[in-house]
Amino acid sequence: MAHEERRNMSKNTDASVDNRDNAQKSAVEQLADANHEIEELKLQIAWLERSYE
């Protein structure tokens, strides 16, 4: 139980840091970051689909 609480606190702290970082970035930078992440995820999906063929 305590382990789970610590893990949740860690996630909340990480989320706070991410929110602060995002607030300092412009909307254009956030959009570019999101598009980059989407492209990386598409590549990961393609690799996973290949492994099932």
53 against 3, higher pLDDT: 53
Instruction: List all residues 6 or more positions away from 30 whose beta carbon is below 8 Å from its beta carbon.
Output: 22
In angstroms and rounded to an integer, the radius of gyration of the C-alpha atoms of the chain is 16
Q: What is the mean pLDDT of residues 3-9?
A: 56
Question: What percentage of the chain has pLDDT greater than the value 90?
Answer: 45
Q: Give the ranges where the chain is alpha helix by DSSP (H).
A: 2-24, 27-52
- The pLDDT assigned to 51 comes to 78
pTM above 0.75, yes or no: no
Report d(CA 48, CA 39) in Å as an integer: 14
